[in-house]
Amino acid sequence: MMTDQIIKLDEEQRVVWGWASVTSLNGEPIVDSQGDIIEPRVLEKAATEFMLGARNGLTMHKGEPTTTIVHSMLFTDDVKKAFGIESPYEGWLIAVKVHCEKTWDQVKQGQFRGFSIGGKAIRKDV
């Protein structure tokens, strides 16, 4: 399974499930498409702050909100252990409700295959 792909579509509810971000696979850090590594604790803080806010998403980071996160679950090693969840992934799993007809059509046609969390950070050399 690719870590950035849409995992599930619920056409009746227009809800799309997938990883917003994956920080590790089998304990090894994941390097994202920008060449960055996000530490699980940093992702946890960012996801918490985002969910306290608007929870809305933009199509390709532009324009007016077209989606709303309706489900969110962090899969850090601590959370997985506490709930007895076995998964090779550490990351943030989300489900979004798609409000925009054009965006929904693009999702169904496979033009969008995953999520992008966006965000800003200060880079540190590792």
Q: Per-residue pLDDT for 3 more than 60?
A: no
On average, the pLDDT of the chain sits at 84
Give a yes or no: residue 114 inside a domain: no
Give a yes or no: residue 126 inside a domain: no
State the pLDDT at residue 2: 44
CA 11 to chain CA centroid, Å, is 19
Percent of the chain residues topping a pLDDT of 90: 44
Kind plus residue range of the DSSP H or E element containing 52: helix 40-52
Q: Structural domain tally of the chain?
A: 1
Give a yes or no: residue 49 inside a domain: yes
Q: How far apart are CA 40 and CA 116, in angstroms?
A: 16
Give a yes or no: residue 115 inside a domain: no
Q: Residue 104 is part of which domain span?
A: 6-67+76-108
Spatial CA neighbour of 15 closest among 86, 122, 109, 108: 108
State the pLDDT at residue 32: 80
Give a yes or no: residue 119 inside a domain: no
State the pLDDT at residue 56: 66
Reported as a pLDDT band with limits 50, 70 and 90, residue 100 is: confident
For the ranges 39-43, 66-70, 86-90, the lowest mean pLDDT is seen at: 66-70
Q: Per-residue pLDDT for 124 more than 70?
A: no
Tokens 């054009």 belong to: 102
Taking CA atoms, 93 is separated from 1, 4, 67, in Å, by 14, 10, 15
Give a yes or no: residue 86 inside a domain: yes
Spatial CA neighbour of 95 closest among 62, 45, 55, 35: 55
Which phi and psi (to 5°) does residue 83 adopt? Answer: -105, 5
pTM of the model: 0.81
Give a yes or no: residue 124 inside a domain: no
Give a yes or no: residue 16 inside a domain: yes
Half-sphere exposure of 25 (CA within 13 A, CB side): 10
